[in-house]
Chain A
């Protein structure tokens, strides 16, 4: 049985890196008595895969990983069991079952939302929300392309960020307004929010200091029109589910979104 778990990471836990978070959850599964499945062989390991690594220093309300379990209690019970063994700074937000042929969250990741806020004592982006809105407008809507130079291990590459920034807007309050970003994420075209920030600061002549901002991930998404399951039968079933979803959005008079949170691809176990 496939399970997708959503968790939040905050406080001092932002200094625990991705690999260590993986190790942390491997041990947490045992502490919470989750009946997780193991691979075969002499050194069996838990079947667990993470969606999108979170950088050190970044906090999040929308982290995902998938596990395979032999049996499972209800979502509510499993979440309670897990939350009981969590440390301060990590909390389990969702525990959902996925179709048996579900694609891994890692292969589905397409976008992520971030909130970026100057840290206390650091220079704010702007004095007022309105001022930041104007700055964002000039940078994002005002430019037809946002060219940056990206330093890779081997060489420098020129790239246009604009098509990879799906949304950018000012939010929060006067005094220290923050930036909301939705950017392309995943194995192709992965855009770190810092890259956008640097370009933004550069555009406005603000000196860029990576440590002056707190980056907070809000959510990770799959493309809504990507079929998240393998197998012919399952595909068809999902397409039918999609049709239903679209209808329910229509009924409420809402536009069907371009992206769906990874957690919405599963359902609660009663």
Chain B
């Protein structure tokens, strides 16, 4: 395997050439001649980010278990190589066999965040695949999108042949079988798309028509043909134990962001925070069996040689067998394996575990109250109370910790100036708790770091109707927090970080946008926008020009409270959680009423129709 797609001259001239050579530990090798389907799996960001993604590792392993499929990988070439590939007309290639992506049967792109949308266009462009799905021919790969952003695929509708909505474990086998049988019968791309749209979870955007009202809102969203399903129900893998999980994940040479074994312990979250999309779309909460997890952990540590293992889930403390699992994993410490802890609820148990696996003086505790005041925490249904935070911090300080990180959001619905000011005040009260410890028992100052991000309403959350703010307003709110922080008694122990608001505004548009915003993406890409999630590349001026030139109003998408009866671009998707539940939650939010978590009480969100996970625990 000495035939690389790039010449030595190119590889020696770009940063981190190991990004482009493949050949990693546990890479799957097959003879492309021996398979029916060649699949290029893409994470549209730089290698180190893409290689850290668990979803791709799961699908890579699952697809390659089929003898008739060869799944290879592709990531975004960094800007230095991008320039060379454009100049020299080098087609984008897969890492495994270094073959052109355009020779594949499928190009599957995982869509994890809005700010990677221009990178998707880069992938298509460098692959020499027509950007617009309607311009593709039978010679081009079928371009599939998957991942959380497909819960509103509309901004990307023009660029994809189909979207797979939901969890990948369930429907790909059927999809591949269908493709193979149609390919053998000489079916065309069009015929395949017409057939595949009938599979559960599959959305073929070109088979639907959207019309708009004069005010710009959607008038109708309808299938073009009678046999095309009007709603698409997400796919969900109900049994997370007896299913695919990679025992031999790939191990990159260059340090990936996740340079460790990742163990997904459960999917979904029982908490029901009203801003959180993941907490809604991954319902119902399903746990993996602890014995399976132990086995996976052992196998993956053995096959990768990683020196660290991390648990992955939305709320690890809610995993019922967490203690048993942690006690098992701690045994690997003897073999030099470190345990990286996910955000655990701070209590006696988690502090005990942390003290075993971390250097207390160096590590910090993380709390995510998300809002400064109890009032606003009730609005967002974040169950965390100030007492719990102070008690957890108190326990931690007594145990020797001195550093605390606090995460908040600014711009949440109904937020007042008082709510903003409560952020530094809460931090100050935590610091006071530290200084209550007698001087001789503590060592020096405590360090409380406050970070705020700006809230972006997401589809399929109770806040999907909420209005956003102009960029200036976000920055003004950050200044309120900053000024108030300077008034605090322990201000010297507090530190405040916040971000620019330009990206927030764009995320808002693409999170809840419709098909019409796709042209802005294309225009922005043509202007050179790429790697927008990277501050060194993000160019807001070009984006604003793109909006202007396309005649698309940011205000229409962001600064407008949507009517409850409005047809939302993603209404055709059924994620299990019903629109009436979301409406109810939105009303509760505005009244500051909290909703108990799924383990305390079923709130009738609709996900019970999947007949499993936490929903079944209530049937007695």
Interface residues of A (CB under 8 A from B): 11-13, 15-17, 20-21, 23-24, 26-31, 38, 42-46, 56-57, 85, 87-89, 119, 211
Q: How far is the CB of A207 from chain B (nearest CB, A)?
A: 15
CB-defined A-B contacts under 8 Å, sample of 29: A12-B2, A15-B11, A15-B18, A15-B20, A15-B21, A16-B253, A17-B18, A20-B254, A20-B255, A23-B253, A23-B255, A24-B25, A24-B253, A27-B25, A27-B306, A27-B307, A30-B301, A30-B305, A31-B25, A31-B302, A31-B304, A42-B358, A42-B359, A56-B12, A57-B11, A85-B25, A87-B23, A88-B23, A211-B8
A12-B23, A15-B11, A87-B24 given; A29·B1 CB < 8 A = no
Q: Which residue of A lies closest to B333 (CB)?
A: A44
Q: Cβ of A57: which chain B residues have Cβ within 8 Å of it?
A: 8, 11-12
CA distance A30 to B307 in the complex (A): 8
Q: Is the CB of B358 within 8 A of A16?
A: no
Beta-carbon contact of A12 and B22 below 8 Å: yes
A56: shortest Cβ distance to chain B, in Å? 7
Are A20 and B23 in touch, CB under 8 angstroms?
Answer: no
Question: Least Cβ distance of A43 to chain B in Å?
Answer: 7
Q: Answer yes or no: B338 CB below 8 A from chain A CBs.
A: yes
Closest to B4 in A: A12
Contact B336 A44 (CB under 8 A): yes
Interface string of B236-275 (1 = CB under 8 A from A): 0000000000000001011100000000000000000000
Contacts of B6-62 to chain A: CB distance below 8 A: 8-9, 11-12, 17-18, 20-25, 27
B374 lies within 8 A of chain A by Cβ: no
Q: How distant is A92 from chain B, measured CB to nearest CB, in Å?
A: 15
Tell me if B170 counts as interface (CB < 8 A to partner A): no
CB distance from B25 to the nearest CB of A (A): 6
Q: Does B303 contact A (CB under 8 A)?
A: yes
Give chain A nearest CB distance to B217 CB in angstroms: 52
Nearest-Cβ distance from residue B29 to partner chain A, whole angstroms:
9
B541 on the interface (CB 8 Å rule)?
Answer: no
Residue pair B305, A27 in contact (C-beta under 8 Å) = yes
A27 with B251: CB separation less than 8 A: yes
- B9 & A16 in contact (Cβ 8 Å cutoff): no
Closest B residue to A42 using CB positions: B359
A28/B305 in contact, CB under 8 A: yes
Query: Complex formed: what's the CA distance from A15 to B336 in Å?
Result: 28
A15, A29, A43 interface centre (most CB from chain B within 10 Å) = A15
- 16 further A-B contacts with Cβ under 8 Å, apart from A16-B254, A27-B304, are A11-B23, A12-B21, A13-B23, A20-B255, A23-B253, A27-B251, A30-B305, A30-B307, A31-B302, A31-B303, A31-B304, A56-B12, A57-B11, A87-B24, A89-B23, A211-B8
Q: How far is the CA of A88 from the CA of B25 in the complex (A)?
A: 9
* Proximity bits, B455-475, A CB within 8 Å = 1, else 0: 000000000000000000000
Tell whether, in the assembled complex, residue B307 and residue A26 are in contact, meaning their CB atoms are under 8 Å apart: yes
A88 touches B1 (CB 8 A): yes
Q: How far is the CB of B75 from chain A (nearest CB, A)?
A: 15
CB-defined contacts of A56 to chain B, threshold 8 Å: 12, 17
| Docked pose: A31 CA to B307 CA in angstroms | 11
Beta-carbon contacts of B86-127 to A below 8 Å, as 1s and 0s? 000000000000000000000000000000000000000000
Contact B303 A46 (CB under 8 A): no
Interfacial chain B residues near A26, Cβ < 8 Å: 305, 307
In the assembled complex, which residues on chain A have CB atoms less than 8 Å from the CB atom of B307?
A: 26-27, 30
Q: Which residues of B contact A15 (CB under 8 A)?
A: 11, 17-18, 20-21
Check: B439 CB closer than 8 A to any chain A CB: no
B335 part of interface (Cβ distance < 8 Å): yes
Contacts of B20 in A (CB 8 A): 15
Q: Which residues of A contact B306 (CB under 8 A)?
A: 27, 30
Q: How far in angstroms is the closest Cβ of chain B from A34? A: 10
Which residue from chain B places its CB closest to the CB of A209 in the assembled complex?
Answer: B9
What chain B residues lie within 8 Å of A31 (beta carbons)?
A: 25, 302-305
Inter-subunit contact B305/A85 (CB<8 Å): yes
In whole angstroms, what is the CA distance A24 to B8 when docked?
22
Residue of B nearest to A25 (CB): B305
Known: A12-B1, A20-B254. A38 touches B24 (CB 8 A): no
Cβ contacts under 8 Å, B335 to chain A: 30
Tell me the B292-350 residues at the A interface (CB within 8 Å): 301-307, 335-336, 338
Q: Which residue of B lies closest to A15 (CB)?
A: B17
Q: Which residues of A contact B362 (CB under 8 A)?
A: 42
Name B11's closest neighbour in chain A (CB-CB).
Answer: A15
Given the complex, which residues of B lie within 8 Å of A27, measured CB to CB? 25, 251, 304-307
Q: Nearest B residue to A119 by beta-carbon distance?
A: B8
Closest 9 pairs between A and B when the two form their complex, measured CB to CB: A27-B305, A30-B305, A42-B359, A31-B305, A15-B17, A12-B21, A20-B253, A16-B253, A38-B336
User: What is the CB-to-nearest-CB distance from B339 to chain A, in angstroms, rounded to a whole number?
Assistant: 12
Nearest-neighbour CB distance to chain A for B38, whole angstroms, equals 21
Nearest CB in chain B to that of A86: its residue = B25
Which chain A residues lie closer than 8 Å to B22 at the CB level? 12
Q: Which residues of A contact B11 (CB under 8 A)?
A: 15, 57
- Contact assessment for A16 and B18 in the assembled complex, using a CB-CB cutoff below 8 Å: yes
Q: Which residue of B lies closest to A31 (CB)?
A: B305
CB distance from B336 to the nearest CB of A (A): 5
Shortest distance from the beta carbon of A12 to any chain B beta carbon, whole Å: 4
Q: Are A211 and B9 in contact (CB under 8 A)?
A: yes
The smallest beta-carbon distance between B202 and chain A, in angstroms, is: 37
Closest approach, in angstroms, between the C-beta of A102 and any C-beta of chain B?
23
Residues of A within 8 A of B304 (CB): 27, 31
Q: CB-CB < 8 A to A24: which residues of B?
A: 25, 253
Q: How far is the CB of B389 from chain A (nearest CB, A)?
A: 26
Question: Which residue in chain B gives the minimum CB-CB distance to A46?
Answer: B336
Q: How far is it, in angstroms, between the C-alpha of A213 and the C-alpha of B24 when the chains are bound?
A: 26
How far, in angstroms, from A21 to B18 measured CA to CA in the complex? Answer: 11
Give A45 to B1 CA distance when docked, in angstroms.
33
How far in angstroms is the closest Cβ of chain B from A174?
A: 24
Q: Which residues of A contact B23 (CB under 8 A)?
A: 11-13, 87-89
> Nearest Cβ distance between residue A17 and chain B, in whole angstroms?
7
- In Å, the complex CA distance between A85 and B23 comes to 13
User: Inside 8 A of A88's CB, which chain B residues have their CB?
Assistant: 1, 23
Instruction: Find out whether the CB atom of B338 lies under 8 angstroms from the CB atom of A43.
Output: yes
For residues 130 through 185 of chain B, which have their beta carbon under 8 Å from a beta carbon of chain A?
Answer: none
Q: Which residues of A contact B24 (CB under 8 A)?
A: 87
* Closest chain B residue, CB of each to CB of A21: B253
For chain B, residues 509 to 557, give those with C-beta under 8 angstroms from any C-beta of chain A. Answer: none
Chain A residues with Cβ below 8 Å from B303 are: 31
